[in-house]
Amino acid sequence: MNSKFSKFQLITLSVFVIFIIVGVGAFAFYKGGSNSSTLPAITIWGTIPKLKFDQYVSTISNNSSMQINVTYVEKTQAQFTLDFISALARGQGPDVILVPIELVLPNEDKLALIPYSSMSQYAFKQIYVQEADVYLNSKGIFGFPFLLDPLVMYWNRDMFDAAGIATYPRLWDDFSKLNKSLTSKDSNGNLRKSAVALGQFGNINNAREILGTLLMQAGNPVTAQDATGLVSSKINMANSSGVEAVVRFFSQFVDPASPNFSWNKSMPNSKSAFLSGVLATYFGFASELADIRSKNPNLNFDVALMPSPKSGGTGVTYGRMYGFSLVKTSPNLAADFQIITLLSSAQFLGDFSKSLYLPNVRRDVLVTGSDDPYISLFNNAALVSSTWLDADPNKSNQIFSDMIGAFTSGQKSINQAVQDAGGQYDAILKQAVVQ
């Protein structure tokens, strides 16, 4: 017992020592010539709710010796890039942006890199969860994580109990057995209840992220950035057998001839099906917990980590990560850096992520654990979350959808569907401006 406690203390102490070192680096980067405890006013554009963020800034100002003056402008994700480009063209725009990682690549040429002389890669990786590595390139750091919303599995306890199944699926292969007990049809062969919603995109919520999870679990990063900053698709790799295996697995659930048939176009969207009690498992984000509870208070469900491959893969899950990035045109990048360092500090960020009922992006906060079973599970999901740089999630969603549809309809062979999708994805990635 004492040895475990000592180990915990050692890990915690080591993380906080690293944080102190990083803090010194932050102040070294800030070259302001005054001893004032008030930093210059800055403007942040972001896609998280304004009310929540303004309350967070107010809390920091009231509880920190360093006063900050932040004007936060909320933007929709769909409109963000267009508004951002237009504002910069007029000589206006924000000093900092707070956006999901999907919006970083299309705007990367407008963002300022934090050099590794100010924060080393080692320090960054020790502070943040592994998914945060997506903000690193060969030249420096182009974002600091703020929030993380991982994909998890919701499962209907009543459906499992009624079928005599004691627990949720931990492996994807488990669905082959679950389908026999949880999927049912009427006398005309129409699906009435389903074990899982997989196989197409039209009526499956988060289909892009589910397919991405399967690809990453198979060892495929979806996209990759080289030393020059070029981002390319890894779906059309020379050896695409791993991708083809994922496409085959994902697609079998809409094949009426497959023993795993459990979904088709006639079903409602997957979240609605789960809420109405006709879908046994639903793959949704941690942030959806409150919505599911409110829309059906009588639904007897629980939450678990995403299933893993039986062999030859890793238990990765997709995570929607939001982070701060500095804008090149800001007149005081050093002060901006100091402010986002404060905004993303362990001292305050822990309480903010709890208020949103989301896991933390910082290892030094995660190491303290949680008594809340859902937060504890979300924290575990955060540690195995991953993502990829994307040029446009709407376009990649369509490319993935077309790939699956072309194969399931018989329009293309699996190899042709994968290769075509990879080529199309490369084309939109090349349109994204990189540094």
My answer on whether 194 and 333 are in the same domain is: no
Average pLDDT in the 102-123 region?
A: 94
Q: Which stretches does DSSP call E strand in 1-54?
A: 42-46
My answer on whether 8 and 79 are in the same domain is: yes
My answer on whether 96 and 181 are in the same domain is: no
My answer on whether 120 and 86 are in the same domain is: yes
Look up the domain containing 98 and give its range. 2-149+319-386
pLDDT digits 0-9 by tens, 87-110: 999 999 999 999 999 999 999 999
Domain CATH for 311: 3.40.190.10
My answer on whether 234 and 313 are in the same domain is: yes
pLDDT digits 0-9 by tens, 315-354: 899 999 999 999 999 999 999 999 999 999 999 999 999 9
Look up residue 9 and give its amino acid: Q
pLDDT at 259: 93
My answer on whether 245 and 366 are in the same domain is: no
CB neighbours of 128 closer than 8 A, spacing ≥ 6?
145, 361, 362, 363
Res. 239 pLDDT band, cuts 50 70 90: low
My answer on whether 47 and 183 are in the same domain is: no
pLDDT digits 0-9 by tens, 41-68: 999 999 999 999 999 999 998 988 888 8
pLDDT digits 0-9 by tens, 134-166: 999 988 999 999 999 999 999 999 999 999 999
Helix/strand/coil (H/E/C) assignment for every residue in 365-402? HHCCCCCCHHHHHHHHHHHCEECCCCCCHHHHHHHHHH
pLDDT at 227: 85
If one counts the domains in the chain, the total is 2
Give the residue carrying structure tokens 């079928």. 163
My answer on whether 163 and 144 are in the same domain is: no
> Whole-model pTM?
0.90
CA separation for the pair 206, 212 (Å, rounded):
10
Q: What are phi and psi of 135, to 5 degrees?
A: -85, 0
My answer on whether 417 and 286 are in the same domain is: yes
My answer on whether 203 and 233 are in the same domain is: yes
My answer on whether 171 and 110 are in the same domain is: no
